[in-house]
Structure 1
Amino acid sequence: MKPVPAVPAPGQESVWDYPRPPRLERSEKQVEVWLGGVKIVSSSGAYRVLETSHPPGYYLPAADFLPGALQRAPGSSVCEWKGRASYWSLSAGGVTAPSVAWSYEHPTSDFAPIAGYVALYAGRVERVTLDGEEVTPQPGDFYGGWITGEIVGPFKGVPGSWGW
């Protein structure tokens, strides 16, 4: 079934207006991430990836993570747009979230700025905020987009959306 895009209100974006292939853009929004009751990231130097039907994925400078919070995890995968991803676990406050984050150490030329940046699944940590607003994770367990009140869908990841 073909999705029917929601009409954005003033100040909102529709994920159906995002491009494919995806676009990388700088974000100055304040990102904060908590795990185990500890704020492990506070950054205003993120990049966001915009792709048709997906809420934005945010890439944070690895240097902005609390020292010791990032630990390399086994495995890798390939994105047709960004290249080979490496995985990371996050630990803080006595809690470890295994393979909850990923990075592209040698991304393709279009995504070169995210080398040294790390993305994470918002639903696999305690809490994520974007400019103080609690982030809702993208539906499903495959995609890592972050939903806020400034974007409208429908969003890829809901049941029946695999072919979108």
Structure 2
Amino acid sequence: MKPIPIPPAPGQESVWDYPRPPHLERSEKHVEIWLGGVQIVDSAGAYRVLETSHPPGYYLPASDFLPGVLSPAAGSSVCEWKGRASYWSLSAGGVSVPGAAWSYQHPTPAFAPIAGYVALYAGRVDRVTLDGEPVTPQPGAFYGGWITADVVGPFKGIPGSMGW
């Protein structure tokens, strides 16, 4: 079934206005992330990826993670737009989450600025905030977008969205 986009209110973006192929842009939002009760990221240097039907995905400089938080994880995947992804485990405060993050070490030319930047699943850590607002994870186990009040859907990942 074809989704019915939610009309954005002033100050909001509709994911149905995002392009395909996706677009990469700098984000001015302040990103904070906690795991195991420890703040593992405090960053103002993110990029965001905007793709039709998906809430933005945020990519952070690896250097903005606390030392020792990131460790290589098994597996990889391929994005038709960004290239081959490598996976990372996150560990802090006595908690370890295998495969909770990913990066593109050698992305396609259009995504070259995020080489070595790290994205993560908001639902696999304690808390993620953008400019102090708590983030809601994108629905589904595969997608890693971050939902905030300024983004409206419906979002890829909900039941019935496989064919979108």
**TM-score normalised per structure 2:** 0.99
Q: Which residue of 2 aligns with 1:81?
A: 81
Render the CA deviation track for 1:58-106: whole Å, top value 9, x for unaligned. 0000000000000000111100000000000000000001100000000
Q: Which residue of 2 aligns with 1:117?
A: 117
Render the CA deviation track for 1:7-26: whole Å, top value 9, x for unaligned. 00000000000000000000
Secondary structure of residue in 2 paired with 1:42: strand
Q: Can you give the 5+ residue segments of structure 2 that lack an aligned partner in the other structure?
A: none
Q: How big is the shift at 1:159?
A: 0.2
Letter in 1 for 2:13: E
Q: How does 1:14-163 map to 2 (within 5 A)?
A: 14-163=14-163
Letter in 1 for 2:106: H
Secondary structure of residue in 2 paired with 1:63: helix
Secondary structure of residue in 1 paired with 2:105: coil
Secondary structure of residue in 1 paired with 2:107: coil
Distance 1:74 1:39 in 2: 25
Letter in 2 for 1:129: T
2:1 maps to 1:6: no
Distance 1:35 1:14 in 2: 30
Distance 1:15 1:42 in 2: 26
Q: Which runs of 4+ in 1 moved over 6 A?
A: none
Distance 2:106 2:33 in 1: 25
Q: How big is the shift at 1:54?
A: 0.2
Render the CA deviation track for 1:103-162: whole Å, top value 9, x for unaligned. 000000000000020000000001000000000000010100000000000000000001
Distance 2:60 2:28 in 1: 11
Q: Alignment identity in percent?
A: 82
Letter in 1 for 2:71: Q
**TM-score normalised per structure 1:** 0.99
Distance 2:139 2:32 in 1: 20
Distance 1:28 1:73 in 2: 29
Report the count of equivalent residues.
164
| CA RMSD of superposed structures (Å) | 0.4
Distance 1:116 1:159 in 2: 32
Secondary structure of residue in 2 paired with 1:158: coil
